[in-house]
Structure formats: structure tokens, C-alpha cells
Amino acid sequence: MFLVAQNWQAWYEALNKPAWTPGSGTIGLIWMILYPIILVSFVYAIFAWRHGQLPLKIVIIFSLNILANLIFTPIQFGLENLWLSSLDILIIWSTIALLMNEAWRYKKFLAIAQIPYFVWVSIATVLQITITLANF
């Protein structure tokens, strides 16, 4: 991925992290499960919007979420910027919460489908902020 340094693993391993930090294999597995849910949900939201079943606001919120999600890795592991990564993950978390709230009024299924994503990003947000503060 662009902007990801060659030695990101050494940098990440050297950080102070809480004992409950999941291993990279666990994190990878979680994202392998979540990315298809996110993709199907996003395609569904676009389809529903195109057919007048969802307002454009929901597609915009979802798009912002996906953009913030996609830039997390280059920020965290390319720029090696913990503070900016923390801000980015807070944006990711906030847009999921906002998406769920807005979608609930129109398509409850779309809101419910975001629960695993929201739970994981909630955990990841606490982890990210904990790591950032531990390495301040």
C-alpha cells in the first residue's frame, strides 16, 4: 500500500502496547470478515439511494467512513503518526455511529449490519488511543 514504510513491523513492535493487544493474525482475520460486510452494505446503500429508498446523506456518511478507513493504514504505518491515526479512527468510529443512527430510520437491516464493524472499531479505537498515550 502507498505510504507504508518497509520497516513498519519493527516500528509497531517497538511501541508500548497493552497486554490485550491482539496479534496481527487476529486483526487480519477480523478485517477479512468485516470488509465483505462493509462492501455489501455500501453497495446496498448506493443501490437503495439510487432507487429513492435512502437519502444521499447516508451514502455520503458511508463514503467518508470508507475513505477514513482506507487512509488509516498509510497514516499509522506509513507516516507512523499515532496522533493522526487516533484522530482518523475517531472519525471512522463516529461515522459508523452516525451511519447506524441515520440508516435506522430508513433501512434497519443496514444499521444492524454495521454492528460487528462498530464493535471492532470501538475496541480498535480504545486500543489506538491507549497505544498513542503510552507512546507520548
Q: pTM here?
A: 0.93
Structural domain includes residue 70: yes
Q: Is residue 35 part of a domain?
A: yes
pLDDT for residue 1: 46
- 67 vs 5 pLDDT, higher one: 67
CB neighbours of residue 114 within 10 Å? 22
Is the pLDDT reported for residue 112 higher than 60?
Answer: yes
Q: Is residue 41 part of a domain?
A: yes
3-state secondary structure of 51: coil
Question: How many structural domains does the chain have?
Answer: 1
Q: Cell digits for 108?
A: 434497519
pLDDT category of residue 8 using cuts at 50, 70 and 90: confident
Cα–Cα distance, 136 to 134 (Å, whole number): 6
* Full residue range of the structural domain in which residue 88 is found: 29-134
CB 133 within 8 A of CB 119: no
**What nine digits make up the cell of 97?**
455511529
At residue 6, the pLDDT reads 65
